[in-house]
Structure 1
Amino acid sequence: MPRRSVLGPAVVPEITDPVEAEKEAELAVLSAVAHGNGPNGLTVVQAALVALGRLDQEHARVYFQVIWNGLREPMRRALEALVMERQIEGEATLPPFVQKLIDRGKLEGLREGELKGMREGKLEGKRDTLLRLLARAGIVLSDSERERVQACTDMATLDRWIDNVLGATTAIEVLS
């Protein structure tokens, strides 16, 4: 039976020098996959990303995805934080396609933030409406009932409580 060799992380060199990584981009990608979650993981991944900058966009995207898929969540967050820090400092050391991915992520984050803000605004408006209707109806809330209204984050519940104000005479009738 022929002897077989197994390629594993132990035989893949840990490439941390961006110049060396640029000379052998594919080996740098393997290094990032094999060692990206290790003690020098961030440095290894950074070197690989620099190497991807010399490749055509199609190969660079595929290799980036291979690296990204090999990273565990803590290292992904560390890489994202590093990229954001570099953007703030104005350092452009990552390939343009990575920058585009980051920019797209920022846009998605902004959209998500806007949606969350709009939702919070709607909730606050419903809470205010409920409290105004209760005051007009002469229904006094205890501190705990007022806290319950302020803590409510469910639109349907707030709508139900608003509807319950009509004809109610006590806070218990409204908040049931």
Structure 2
Amino acid sequence: MVTQQHEGLTKITTLNFGHTAQMLRALFDLPIPESGEARLASPELSEAAPSVCRADGALLYGENEHKLGIITETQRGRDDEKMYSWLEYIANFRAREKCPTCLVVICPDRNIARWAAKPIETGHPGLTLTPLVIGPDNTPVITDVAEALSNIGLAIVSAVTKSDDPLFRDILGTLDKALNELDRQLAGQYGRYIAVSLTGIAQKEWGRLMAMQTYPYQGEYAESLLAEGEAKGAAKGEAKGEAKGEAKLLLKLLELRGFAVSEEIRARVNGCEDTAQLEAWFQRAYSAGSTEELFD
């Protein structure tokens, strides 16, 4: 089952091609072309109608004979079927794009990262696939803003994979400051994807940082959440659907801020069909000190 955390990590790797390339060069010294086109490739890798072969993400760097394909996978649990499908992803992408292709697997969990990094024997002599794994053990602890800015892609995946590190608050605080130096819209998108990629206490800490709105980009983050709720409602074509989307986002924001969301509060929010009232609660949720203050 694809979760929000899964989707968030995939979006992080495909949001900015340059940042992802810089991160992969630092971690694996991949020969990603410095010049030429970089684009999002189709993750649909099926070659035959009977089966579906789809990766989480696919990037294509360079052009002509100087191309390199990158398949990105997010793995939060063990799935032994991947030992077969990952080989298929590489073979199909390589055949379609006529270029060398690498597999990168992001694993926030240390045990899953170790599992994913094991060599996959194909049975053919000399042909062994060893996935390039990004996990807690091979990403650095970045607590210096200048260092984070020098490789923002690495700083982001490091923050996500270091969520159980004793310094995770310093790591997230550094990333927050670094994002403020980027384009506001891009930083806002990163902020949203980081929020859903994190779990537990780290996710609440990131929500707290976003709620402070110290930096302009955090406002972009809040606006994107609100816009997402409006888009969901508009897609349903009725005010009730819009209210339902905004109510869901409001409850998510309260959880990110660390509030205990009781069944009574959940029922009150979900039962509200007044989008203006939900918007007012949503904006107030960023500064409220308690749920009582939110509804006062």
Structure number having the greater strand percentage: 2
Say which one has the larger Rg. Answer: 1
Which structure has more relative contact order (CA 8 Å, sep 6+)? It is 1
Structure number having the greater helix percentage: 1
* TM-score of the two chains, using structure 2 as the length reference: 0.31
